[in-house]
Amino acid sequence: MSMMKAAVFVEPGRIEVIDKRIPDVGPNDALIRITTTTICGTDVHILKGEYPVAKGLTIGHEPVGVIEKLGSAVQGYSEGQRVIAGAICPNFNSYAAQDGAPSQDGSYLIPQGLCGCHGLKATAGWRFGNLIDGTQAEYVLVPDAQANLAPIPDGLTDEQVLMCPDIMSTGFKGAENANIRIGDTVVVFAQGPIGLCATAGARLLGATTIIAVDGNDHRLGISKKLGADITLNFRECDVVDEVMKLTGGRGADSSIEALGTQATFESALRVLKPGGTLSSLGVYSGDLKIPLSAFAAGLGDHRINTALCPGGKERMRRLMNVVQSGRIDLGVMVTHQYKLEDIVAAYDLFAHQRDGVLKVAIKP
Ligand SMILES: [Zn+2]
């Protein structure tokens, strides 16, 4: 056993399943045999060439699996144990981590000369399928395993925890960053997988008027199941006008942007009350323009927060605790299943949002 199947980026528009060597396990690593992984919207950006990664890199950052081999320095786990790891795998020794922003940890890049600022590097905590081989493979090497491996509680299926590494962690962070208080009105822009989790997170944090916005009625239907009180299809109404009507002209306490476009960002600002918070989750691919009136010329006491998915074993433990408690059921989001060898077809389905797809379980 020395080779494995892995889905790698070949060139813009092309991902292929190839044979790759199973990696060696360093002292701080763990080798995980993947039992289930999935495709993220970010992977589609990579496929299209909109987010550059190295040719030949294994894609994917959402691992559910079994510990195959532990590094000599990794303690407190056992081989054969079922685990997940966050999409973001900081080492938690860095300046960024100790400064409260572990997802921005680039300390491991210092020896390679790729980070000149003591490890404070935006987005560098995201390693799987970005800077190191990712999870759309039979095996993945989890770096800094002691900080990043999270055992799956007994009784939870792969599908039940598949959203934890990225979608749920990111979506909930969007709600956490929105400074939600009990009784708040929150508008969530876009109800893809991340936006749906932001809606669910807003509900858990105590928002009592959650307005979900999308152009897809199927997704809006699911958002009602996950916690939205009101849904708005932007193709059928002026969302900003509607929110102002629904709030008696007051504006929303907070808004969550979960797509990454000028239009959604701008609307997320326009629906806010003075003093409100815009929590931005989307991955933008161009400059943003901030409209002067919505920004109150910079005098509106608005807060704009951005985030990258939080990782680490404690975050993963909490998220799996939410699943185990039954407070929300994200199982409805896993709509399709494909074998790893058929992942190219799965990308096609997912990228074109065919057949009501939300998330695809990929099984090696
Ligand atoms: Zn992702």
User: Encoding tokens for residue 46?
Assistant: 């990579």
Contacts for 97-105: CB closer than 8 Å, 24+ residues apart: 102/310, 102/311, 102/312, 103/307, 103/308, 103/309, 103/310, 103/311, 104/308
Q: Share the mean pLDDT of the chain.
A: 96
Predicted confidence (pLDDT) at residue 167 exceeds the cutoff of 80: yes
pLDDT at residue 117, rounded to an integer: 78
- Kindly state the average pLDDT of the residues 224-244: 98
Question: How much distance in Å is there from the Cα of 157 to the middle of ligand 1?
Answer: 20
pLDDT in tens, 285-340: 889 999 999 999 999 999 999 999 999 999 999 999 999 999 998 888 999 999 99
Question: How much distance in Å is there from the Cα of 42 to the middle of ligand 1?
Answer: 5
pLDDT at residue 116, rounded to an integer: 74
Question: How much distance in Å is there from the Cα of 170 to the middle of ligand 1?
Answer: 8
- Kindly state the average pLDDT of the residues 18-28: 97
Residue 206 — φ and ψ, nearest 5°? 110, 5
CA gap 280, 261 in Å, rounded: 11
Q: How does strand 209-214 pair with strand 230-233?
A: parallel
Q: How confident is the model at residue 153 (pLDDT cuts 50, 70, 90)?
A: very high
pLDDT at residue 111, rounded to an integer: 85
pLDDT in tens, 80-125: 999 999 999 998 888 999 999 999 999 888 888 888 778 888 999 9
Question: How much distance in Å is there from the Cα of 51 to the middle of ligand 1?
Answer: 12
Question: How much distance in Å is there from the Cα of 150 to the middle of ligand 1?
Answer: 18
Global confidence as pTM:
0.96
